[in-house]
Chains A and B, each alone.
Chain A
Amino acid sequence: MSPSPATIPPSTEVPLFNERNYLNDKAGVWSWLTTVDHKRIGVMYLVLTTIAFALGGLFAMLIRIELLTPGPTIMSAATYNRMFTLHGVIMIFLFMIPAIPNIFGNFFLPIMIGARDVAFPRLNLASVYIYLLGAGVALYGMIHGGADTGWTFYVPYSTTTATKVVPILLGAFILGMSSIVTGINFIATVHTLRAPGLGWMKLPLFVWSIYATAIIQVLATPVLGITLLLVAVEAGLGFGIFDPARGGDPILFQHLFWFYSHPAVYIMILPAMAVISEVVCTFARKNMFGYKAVAFSSLGIAFVGFFTWGHHLFTSGQSTLDAGVFGVLSMFVGIFTAIKVFNWTATLYKGSVAFRTPFAYFCGFLFFLVFGGMTGIALATVSLDVHWQDTYFVVAHFHFIMVGGTIMAYLAALHYWWPKMFGRTYPEGWGLVSAVLIILGFNATFIPQFLLGNMGMPRRYYSYPPEFWPLNVASTAGSTLLAFGFGIILIYLLISLKHGALAGPNPWHSRGFEWITLSPPPADNFGPVNPVYIHQPHDYQHPEPGPVPAPGPEVPHAS
């Protein structure tokens, strides 16, 4: 994966900070608005998704403050319904689905496979504008009162509510198109732009998981699109496709909705697993244990994830036959996740572990993925789900996976790749402090919710009986800690852009493929020399020194 040893120059020739990089390549706002550089697009998504996360997080804090007391605290019931709806819509469609693929996938997928850009750069730019359009339409709906249906838009309420559900549905539809475009781009890129010598079995595991994510995005999102469109048409025009009075079946909506929305959670977790595979190898300084197993388990999760949607309908009125089928099929996803967890853990064994901030987030991720995942398997048991459905147990389960899993991995990615993206390191001490705050805050927020759910507190309820009061207070306290942690991260990362220590091309001494470029990368990723791939990614077994960027003569290759 590095140029042959003979062409590696002495390290003094490699600049600590690449002066002519993608950030200052062309100046001016217009150059950013019309860029087709995948790295700039990644940075734009970083800014946009951070804003979305802040907005969704604001709604979350408002929800938790409202739940501080059993009765009304700071808002009316109608407002509360809008709060949890918008929290869900923003967090899922504006942050969780796009964040890791569109930021880190866009930035690093081409670099990792030795390409100069994604397959369709202009389409990539279009995806940013489609995202903005979708966000704008949804925001319009929010400003005009928002929806109160929950992010799941169940009929018949969503088709009969007086709230502004149609703009939010259309906004989500447009955001889905952005997701589809990204998925198409990534699949085509991995198929057609791999550098010579880079076969499928040499791909970084990050690429494998992003590829699997893209497959789900392409296959599942259109079904969500048509479903939301049907609800909008029924709400706006009264066509009655789900209306029982016209012969419609509300359960049909749920089938169609969850056919997307269950694979959607794998769109959210697979990129997280992609990041973790990279982080584990780097910080254990070991080859991935069971490379093929981890690679194929990504495809396995993508595939099996499509067979399980009915576990969201266990208590809705689908047939018991279907419930049984889905209950069994839902168990299989656990197998592929377990394969990954075992392989990551085995990679750590006899590794040389450097406990840095990304590794701290990996530890949090592992703990939360395993426990959140096990509660998922428990929920997939029909008889248990009858008790837990629509309680805080489910809420805690998916927050364990989404916040404890994906967001931990997102923060790991942010810290791991920050030096590469911006050429500067963040302050490690503050990194560890905020990681601890976030992990503790997370536990304090969501473990009480498991207990609440098991005790029977329903989700999406504005008021609750007094016996649930103490645990709700605990949960709100934890969420404040979480918010603090995120705030600290934002501050020190922004400060590090100007005042952080210069990173150099490979501060982690990683043998991941992306570390061969300069920090920050030049506009064309590699300079004049195309990288040549000899070894596996994260190959710490061969004795040659770690990869350094080496501008030298073009190395002839064999196709």
Chain B
Amino acid sequence: MAMAHVPSAEEERASRRIPTSRYYIVWIALLALTAITILVARMHLGHGFGLVVALLIAITKGSLVALFFMHLWDHGGANRLVLVTSLFFLCLLLGITLLDNASRFPLTNPPNTETLRWSPPGPDILSPGVGAHGTSSRHEPPREHAPQEQQ
């Protein structure tokens, strides 16, 4: 059964005519940002900047879509919170997982191709026919870090 509903200020705002020009402007902006991101990618910025710039442009485009096409600009305290919260937890998952791979002892990261080439420290006590002090090759100081081929 119906109860009286006084529209909130937010709903009043939403029901006022939004001019369609807003959508076209956002569309042009999105196309322009697409062009920019392609051009910047061609510039081959070094030191990982290419990824950073590409992501920043993508975030900008995404924000335009979310705010104006999906109307987060006009209404939604709860809706905005839902989007932001999901993105926050996604970044949390991504961040800590990447931190794991970034801070592991390098030989334990995939593709683990260096593992077999690394000599462990100390005498070789496992090979048969080798004395307790091992052969001279086993006395080499071990390399601290395997060469980073992938970085």
Contacts and interface: CB of A to CB of B under 8 A. Distances in A.
Interface residues of A, number: 29
Q: Quick one: which of A248, A319, A321, A326 has the most chain B CB within 10 A?
A: A319
Interface stretch (A145-153, A251-259, A370-378, A411-419): A251-259
A247 B111 CA distance: 5
Contacts of A248: 110
A322 B99 contact: yes
Given A310-B96, A325-B96, A319 B103 contact: yes
Contact of A319 (B1, B93, B100): B100
Interface in B80-95: 85-86, 89, 92-93
B86 A219 contact: yes
A479 to B, nearest CB: 37
A306 B97 contact: no
Contacts, number: 58
A232 B85 CA distance: 29
B6 to A, nearest CB: 6
Interface residues of B, number: 24
A317 interface: yes
Contacts of A256: 93, 97
A322 B93 CA distance: 12
Interface string B102-134: 111100111110000000000000000000000
Contacts of A252: 97
Nearest to A317: B108
Interface in B1-26: 1, 3-4, 6
Q: Quick one: which of B4, B96, B112 has the most chain A CB within 10 A?
A: B96
A244 B112 contact: yes
B78 interface: yes
B4 A247 contact: no
Contacts of B99: 319, 321-322, 325
B60 interface: no
13 contacts: A219-B85, A244-B111, A249-B110, A251-B100, A255-B96, A256-B93, A317-B104, A317-B108, A321-B103, A322-B96, A322-B99, A325-B99, A559-B4
Given A318-B100, A557-B3, 13 more contacts: A223-B93, A244-B110, A247-B110, A249-B110, A252-B97, A255-B96, A318-B104, A319-B102, A321-B99, A321-B100, A322-B96, A530-B1, A530-B3
